[in-house]
Amino acid sequence: MRRLFTVLFFSYCLLLSTRLQAQSPQTAGLRRALAAARHDTTRVLLLADLSSTYRYSRFDSVEFYARKGLALARQIGYPKGEGRCLSRLGILTSERGNLPQALRIDLQALQLHEESHDWEGMARTFNQMGLLYHALEDYRPALAYYFQAKNLYEQHGVGDDSQLISVFTNLGASYEGRRQLDSAAYYLNKAYALTRQSGTVHQSCWGNPRPYVLRELGLLQASRGQDAQALDYYRQSARVAFPENDLRSACRAYQYMAELYHRRYQTDSSVYYARKSLALGQALPFVIGVVHTSKLLTSAFEAQANSDSTLKYMRVLRQAQDSLYNPQRIKQLDAIGFAEQQRLRQLEAEQRQTQARNRLFFLTAGLGFLILVSLLLWRNVRQQQRANRQLSALNQEITEQRDRLGQMLHELKTTQSQLVLREKMASLGELMAGVAQEIQTPVNNTRDLAGVSADLIEDLRKELAGLDVQMEDPGALNDKLLMLTQYQNSIIRSSQRAASIVRGMVEYAQSSPGPRQLTDVNAFVEDYLRLTYHDIRAKNRNFYAALLPTLDPAVGNLSILRHDLGRVLVSLFTSAFFSVQQRQLLAQEGYVPQVAVGTRSSPGHIEIWVRDNGIGIRASQLPMVFERFSPAKTGDNDLGLALSYDLITKGHGGTLTVESEEGEFTEFLITLPLTAPSEPTSVA
């Protein structure tokens, strides 16, 4: 009887939501405000908010109002409104499963938010970017974006509580996905308490987030094995979702109910709620929900040997998975994320340059002050000498006293001169100690800008060749462009030589192995892989490679020399990227550059391996790879591999080996003992 009442209530809510034409409670008020708005800027913001009211019900209305507001914002030059409307389009694109395009739109919106100092819009966009990685179950970057959104909401006092509740719920859901249930319970309970206490959740254009909070609380109870409490939360979520016209939350609630009944082997109930969830997911369309429910239905009917229904839902599952987990889109998403990291690092570099200029200014001002003090002292000394000469002429009787006073004065001047000289030398020593570090940025910038200039000259030559323009002496122009290209290449080589010299100075200056530190090896290896890839791409903008990390969670933490192991990883990754670049130049059909890295836990030691599908190394050259001047082609990394071998074997007490097949692959293997050697050897 209770189940029949629940079914009738859900059916009534579904009919009621259809009759209201998929409107949220806030839609009518925003329509009236839009009709009465007098200023275009107000109209843009209202169109963005009106688009948000259809966020989980009618995607065509989301797109209609967002694009209408975007066109008006661009027409009047209103970056804040343009960023808000772009952010709404990013929501729409992500729900339809095109995650790379959604990330591109969110990054454009984020830049507009920064220009207009729209903290609320920036926080909302960070929250959306976290959801993109959450959809792929990549919780580490998702949590980073959620915490950025949380900090913005709390620092700038945004009055829309529904947005802060959404961030708390997303944090809880991510920790639940990582199986950190205590952290998940903390944020979900915080979100639920704020939902019940807040007086603004019913006024927000985003609607009441209570359905979302309830269903995630249910999922937390299910993870703890409390099935009865979980079902109660799911039913509450579905019941409060329909008045808000939150079809997405209703779809998710039915999905979670179907999954719970499936685990309890209640197949009929599982199929019933899975079909309801799939119908709502396909109507939106909500691709993530379609993937989960169609997979559940496929499994259920396959167990019943119902081939027709199995084939039907398998087709739905295959189509949704192709849209959401397309490998090319995943690579695009990774590339866009790297581009955003590159932009943030460039901003940090500019800040460091500003700080360096400020330090130079203060140093110059201090030096000027010292010179002024020295001039004043010199002037005083001269005045004293003049007074002594006058006293000598007037009083011959105190000649002996005058001589002693002159001798003392001479010694004082000598001491003062020595003090000034020591001060200058100390300042010069500090300045020269920072030269090796400070010169790296302008040298790298010179190299990068010269490379960009060479590419631009090549593009210019191609465009001039395609233009139908009569020139008196086209050969002379081509010769000048060729000469300019040669000059740029010469600048690049000189910059690389200077960078190599400075890098050597810094490395030899940091020859001390330093203290061992307990380090998360998996995170350490993955960070250096991405940093090296970013550096390679900064030198060659057209180079791309698939990064394939396979990290064993059992590796855990290990006490290592972070600086030395980092130098080894950079050397191995650089060699791998050089190898795949060389094979890419052969233009082999279907070749995709790949660099894989992995970790393994073994008794008494751990292993780190780096494998690429590049040109490989000849069998005759393998025994000489780790020699100082190896004949094997590893770019400009020959000395780096020799140094890496010494750092691993002498500094860490481990081993470094290599296996390779020419034209197929190269694999380096590092083994590190779990127990550190008592006295590690310093390797420069």
CATH number where 555 lies: 3.30.565.10
3-state helix, strand, coil in the chain (%, to 5): 75, 5, 20
Q: How many structural domains comprise the chain?
A: 4
* Residue environment code for 653-679, b if the CB has 16+ CB neighbours within 10 A, otherwise e: bbebebebeeeebbbbebbbeeeeeee
**Domain annotation covers residue 347:** no
Please tell me whether the peptide bond between 623 and the residue prior to it is cis, using omega within 30 degrees of 0. Answer: no
Q: How confident is the model at residue 431 (pLDDT cuts 50, 70, 90)?
A: low
Q: Are residues 226 and 316 in the same domain?
A: yes
The CA distance from 442 to 450, in Å, is 12
**Domain annotation covers residue 64:** yes
What does the mean pLDDT of the chain come to? 77
Q: Examine the pLDDT at 572 and tell me if it is beyond 90.
A: yes
* Long-range contacts from 320-327, C-beta under 8 angstroms, 24+ separation: 320/97, 320/287, 320/290, 320/291, 320/294, 321/291, 323/96, 323/97, 323/98, 323/287, 324/97, 324/99, 324/135, 324/287, 324/288, 324/291, 325/136
Choose the most confident range, by mean pLDDT, from 6-15, 26-35, 578-587. Answer: 578-587
**Domain annotation covers residue 482:** yes
pLDDT of residue 521: 92
Instruction: Dump pLDDT digits (tens) for 489-522.
Output: 888 777 765 665 565 455 544 545 567 889 999 9
Q: Are residues 525 and 506 in the same domain?
A: no
Q: Are residues 602 and 665 in the same domain?
A: yes
Instruction: Dump pLDDT digits (tens) for 586-600.
Output: 888 889 999 999 999
Q: Are residues 522 and 665 in the same domain?
A: yes
Q: Are residues 461 and 570 in the same domain?
A: no
Q: Are residues 99 and 242 in the same domain?
A: no
What whole-number percentage of the chain has pLDDT above 70? Answer: 78
The CA distance from 62 to 94, in Å, is 13
Instruction: Dump pLDDT digits (tens) for 125-169.
Output: 888 888 888 877 888 888 889 898 888 888 877 767 888 888 888
Q: Are residues 491 and 556 in the same domain?
A: no
The CA distance from 423 to 414, in Å, is 14
Q: Are residues 502 and 529 in the same domain?
A: no
Length of the chain: 684
Q: Examine the pLDDT at 425 and tell me if it is beyond 50.
A: no
Q: Are residues 436 and 573 in the same domain?
A: no
Instruction: Dump pLDDT digits (tens) for 44-87.
Output: 888 888 877 777 777 778 888 888 888 988 898 889 888 888 88
Q: Are residues 37 and 105 in the same domain?
A: yes
pLDDT of residue 659: 93
**pTM here?**
0.45
The CA distance from 642 to 572, in Å, is 11
11-15, 25-29, 337-341, 661-665 — which is least confidently predicted?
11-15
Q: Examine the pLDDT at 335 and tell me if it is beyond 50.
A: no
pLDDT of residue 470: 64
**Among 300, 325, 350, where does a domain finish?**
325
**Domain annotation covers residue 318:** yes
**Domain annotation covers residue 311:** yes
**Among 117, 144, 177, where does a domain finish?**
117
Assigned token pair, 293: 């429910």
**Among 87, 117, 147, where does a domain finish?**
117
- Spatial CB neighbours of 423, under 8 Å, sequence gap ≥ 6: 370
**Domain annotation covers residue 364:** no
Q: Examine the pLDDT at 327 and tell me if it is beyond 50.
A: no
Helix (H, G, I), strand (E, B) or coil at 656: strand
What whole-number percentage of the chain has pLDDT above 90? Answer: 11
The CA distance from 601 to 165, in Å, is 40
Question: Higher model confidence: residue 221 or residue 307?
Answer: 221
Q: Are residues 524 and 649 in the same domain?
A: yes
**Domain annotation covers residue 123:** no
| CATH label of the domain that carries residue 267 | 1.25.40.10
**Domain annotation covers residue 382:** no
pLDDT of residue 520: 93
**Residue 201 to residues 193, 205, 207, 375, 423, Cα–Cα distance (Å):** 12, 9, 7, 70, 65
Q: Are residues 505 and 526 in the same domain?
A: no
Q: Tell me which residue range forms the domain holding 495.
A: 399-465+475-511
